[in-house]
Structure 1
Amino acid sequence: MSTTSPQEVDRVRAAVLDADHLVRALATGRRKGQPVPVVDGREVRRVELRVVDLKAGRHLQVTAYDATQAHTSNHAVGEQAAAAVDALLAQPFANWHVDTATETLQLRVTRKGAPLLHVSAREEAVEVSRGHDRAKDRLLREDDPVLVALGISDAQGRVKPSRQAKYRQVEEFVRLLDASLTEAIAQGHVRTPTADDPLRVVDLGCGNAYLTFAAHRFLTAPPEEGGRGLAVRMTGVDVKQQSADHNGSVAAGLGIDADFVVGSIADAELDRAPDVVLALHACDTATDDALARGIGWDAALVLAAPCCHHDIAAQLRATPAPEPYAVLTRHGILRERFADTLTDALRATLLRREGYRVDVVEFVESAHTPRNTLLRAVRTGGRSDDAAGEYAALVAAWGVRPRLGELLRRSPA
């Protein structure tokens, strides 16, 4: 943004630099036609700012996230902090979300570069926490009651050694949900929830509901505790009655108002269509079922982390590869890896065809799990003819029939 900033940008700048009242600020996304924002020489996806009290005095803490890591720097309140904020405002971020003790500011930069600002006052002022204990950048503390109830942490509030990978998965998934939801609300693709009309989130194939409870906890926790402070109605869907009974018991113990529906992903009935659809490691074509339900519901935001990809892999074994690409499927291990890539590429293309903007990202490092791909889809408008053509050409070339394509073809929509 230019040095002669519009009034809207000046107000956001002032709120971020108000060390007495800032709770948290987020800069996310990039403006259309602009390069990826760069912080300290690194391309970044999002930046989080908060005020911390260190031994050296009060500082503005800036945490920048690239594709795999978080990079934190601290800037003394005053000229140093102002310079850091000005440098961030100069980057082509598409959205700024600022929570203060008394209000929330949401700044969105349009395609033409015009800043649009929405300000909402809090009904009650919140207390600002400036402790440095969040420097490890955890959205859910190890001693959070939700993690203890789920068996990820022990009774002393420490993550169990055997559950470190699960903790990391849940933490990174919630982080992506946070960034995606912030951007989608700022751009007007997801409505701002209210107490009378809460954000409706469904977790398809929830199992023991690690994601359901973690997402609910983070989204509803007040900003002073590091959460979003949103009104949320959460629903988990799983085919097992045992899972529903167990999850209902956990929810009751935590005082969480959540529904758990017994049924398959394809057939589960909800009283109202959700705004957000989540699916973490739904196996093979169950991911296709989840994506099809999200599209059928016109969900504003879909986050799906696929699991195994047996369906397309089996089809590749039975169908000759187009020339000159036979080498991609000649060897078993290469065929399996290519099947993973082809499956998710087809899914992403179908989502684009149906009117979604799609990112395929790594949501947790492969050292923690090989199942680390995530499809992030935001509904933005009408169908894409370009994507339809790309999809048709791809399935014709490889002679495959993706499950998601079949489900959408059968859909009345």
Structure 2
Amino acid sequence: MPQPLDAALTEVRALLLDPSLTRAVAAGRRRGHRPSVERAELRPVALKGGPRLQIATSDGARPYTRNVAAGAEADAAVDALLAEPFGNWHVETTDVTLQLRVTKSGEAQVHRSAATRPPVEPGGHDRAKEWLLDPGDEIFTEIGGSAAKRRQVDAFLRALAATLPDDLTGRLRVVDLGCGNAYLTFAAYRYLSQRGLDVRLVGVDVREDQRRRNTELAERLGWADRVSFVAGTIADAVVEPAPDLVLALHACDTATDEALARAVRWGARWVLAAPCCHHDLAAQLRARPAPAPYELLTRHGILRERFADVLTDSLRAALLRLHGYRTEVVEFVDSRHTPRNLLIRARRVEATPGSATGSATDDEQRAQYRALLDQWQVTPRLETLLADAPG
């Protein structure tokens, strides 16, 4: 329920100056305003001269840190930060976590929850895991907060954080293709909005019952105006306008290819895809003898399946490069938690007049890709889907 912003900031001020403070972050901007710094982080520290409130700010180019004494100095520093038009405040004490978001109308949406992390001595080193999304966040009440799910959410968010530039601001349009029950979709929205971005996220799943379920959850969380869901196939679902960021997490077999093809055709700036179930090329490998001298790679069924996984994702990464993306294949989550732990991470390379786009359109890369196809006599589904796309 929205509440007056002044009253909410008064509550934030009391927590920032309370001895039980463990950490606070201010980020983002209010509609029509821009703070003098992009981000501010506050935490208590123990120095030789006594306890201090450490305030670290960044203007997007360089960080600045200062330590202020309790009393008038800390009061003035906190008041100056609260006067900045930040769009979001996240405050943690030993007892409570408070999250404040300023709405378009200038009111405050506030969520309070019990603290989940153990108290840490000021200035001490917290050896506990630093989660990108607080384990006590309200979304875990809705999506489930098992240790395994929190680990997967955190691993995904770290991959997402490594993909997007640190200085990204403004509106970010996101689509999650094949979102299923959408727990990573909601986690992505929560994390990105806490970074101060104006996020508009659409989840796509073929099942109408999933669309209804996810829409109801978005409404319960108060996010229905920014997080929406449509029922449809990855290839054909209507998503307008085109997104900046495309997610496709554990889309089965050629559904991953359909997601990557849509991302390329949209001209998405960033793509994160965690492939699953590589049946297409595995079937093509079974249908013909392996080229010499690689018969041993496909003689045993289990090795042939694993080789098909590697070949499929290698060709996907190569095709993305040939269509203007800088691409990496990295570990998504530790293999102890799931064997499907690869993540294709791609960023569109902006070409400038008179310059090359690097490896994305390099003739040697294209020749290597074609030679690999000719040797194994396979046709990747993604190549077929992108047959008439620029690149």
**With structure 2 as the length reference, what TM-score do the two structures score?**
0.68
- SS of residue in 2 equivalent to 1:140: coil
- 1:252 positional shift: 0.3
Matches within 5 A, 1:352-391: 352-381=321-350, 382=357, 383-384=360-361, 385-391=363-369
Is 1:123–2:116 an aligned residue pair? no
Preserved contact between residue 236 and residue 261 of structure 1 (Cα < 8 Å) = yes
Matches within 5 A, 1:13-412: 23=25, 52-53=43-44, 57=46, 100=57, 104-106=59-61, 123-124=85-86, 129=91, 133=117, 135-150=128-143, 152-153=144-145, 159=146, 164-182=147-165, 186=167, 192-194=168-170, 198-221=171-194, 228-256=195-223, 257-381=226-350, 382=357, 383-384=360-361, 385-411=363-389
Distance 1:193 1:127 in 2: 16
Per-residue CA shift, 1:264-287, capped at 9, x if unaligned?
001111121100000110000000
Distance 2:290 2:334 in 1: 31
Distance 2:87 2:298 in 1: 60
Distance 1:124 1:51 in 2: 14
**1:295 aligned partner, one-letter code:** V
Preserved contact between residue 26 and residue 90 of structure 2 (Cα < 8 Å) = no
Preserved contact between residue 153 and residue 184 of structure 2 (Cα < 8 Å) = yes
Q: Cα 1:336–1:326, aligned 2, differ >3 Å: closer, same or farther? A: same
Distance 1:352 1:236 in 2: 26
Distance 1:174 1:99 in 2: 23
Distance 2:92 2:148 in 1: 29
Preserved contact between residue 165 and residue 369 of structure 1 (Cα < 8 Å) = no
- 1:24 positional shift: 9.2
- 1:50 positional shift: 6.9
Q: Cα 1:271–1:122, aligned 2, differ >3 Å: closer, same or farther? A: farther
Preserved contact between residue 24 and residue 92 of structure 2 (Cα < 8 Å) = no
- 1:320 positional shift: 1.3
- 1:148 positional shift: 1.1
Distance 1:390 1:131 in 2: 56
Distance 1:267 1:125 in 2: 35
**2:190 aligned partner, one-letter code:** R
Q: Cα 1:259–1:330, aligned 2, differ >3 Å: closer, same or farther? A: same
Preserved contact between residue 26 and residue 86 of structure 2 (Cα < 8 Å) = no
- SS of residue in 2 equivalent to 1:347: helix
Preserved contact between residue 175 and residue 246 of structure 2 (Cα < 8 Å) = yes
Per-residue CA shift, 1:136-184, capped at 9, x if unaligned?
211222221111111x12xxxxx3xxxx33332222111111121135x
Preserved contact between residue 22 and residue 99 of structure 1 (Cα < 8 Å) = no
- SS of residue in 2 equivalent to 1:281: strand
- 1:363 positional shift: 1.5
Distance 2:289 2:266 in 1: 37
- SS of residue in 1 equivalent to 2:196: coil
- SS of residue in 1 equivalent to 2:337: coil
Distance 2:257 2:157 in 1: 21
Preserved contact between residue 253 and residue 276 of structure 2 (Cα < 8 Å) = yes
Preserved contact between residue 237 and residue 265 of structure 1 (Cα < 8 Å) = yes
**2:135 aligned partner, one-letter code:** E
Q: Cα 1:238–1:346, aligned 2, differ >3 Å: closer, same or farther? A: same
**1:246 aligned partner, one-letter code:** R
Q: Cα 1:365–1:51, aligned 2, differ >3 Å: closer, same or farther? A: farther
- SS of residue in 2 equivalent to 1:319: coil
- SS of residue in 1 equivalent to 2:192: helix
Distance 1:405 1:99 in 2: 48
Distance 1:269 1:126 in 2: 31
Identity of aligned residues (%): 52
- 1:53 positional shift: 3.7
Q: Alignment length, in residue pairs?
A: 294
- SS of residue in 1 equivalent to 2:164: helix
Q: Cα 1:264–1:127, aligned 2, differ >3 Å: closer, same or farther? A: closer
Preserved contact between residue 324 and residue 349 of structure 2 (Cα < 8 Å) = yes
- SS of residue in 2 equivalent to 1:261: strand
Unpaired runs of 5+ residues, structure 2, are 1-22, 28-39, 63-82, 95-116, 118-125, 351-356
Q: Which has the larger radius of gyration?
A: 2
Distance 1:105 1:177 in 2: 19
- SS of residue in 2 equivalent to 1:105: coil
Residue matched to 1:45: none
Q: Which has the larger displacement, 366-375 or 377-386?
A: 377-386
Unpaired runs of 5+ residues, structure 1, are 1-20, 26-48, 60-75, 82-97, 108-120, 154-158, 187-191, 222-227
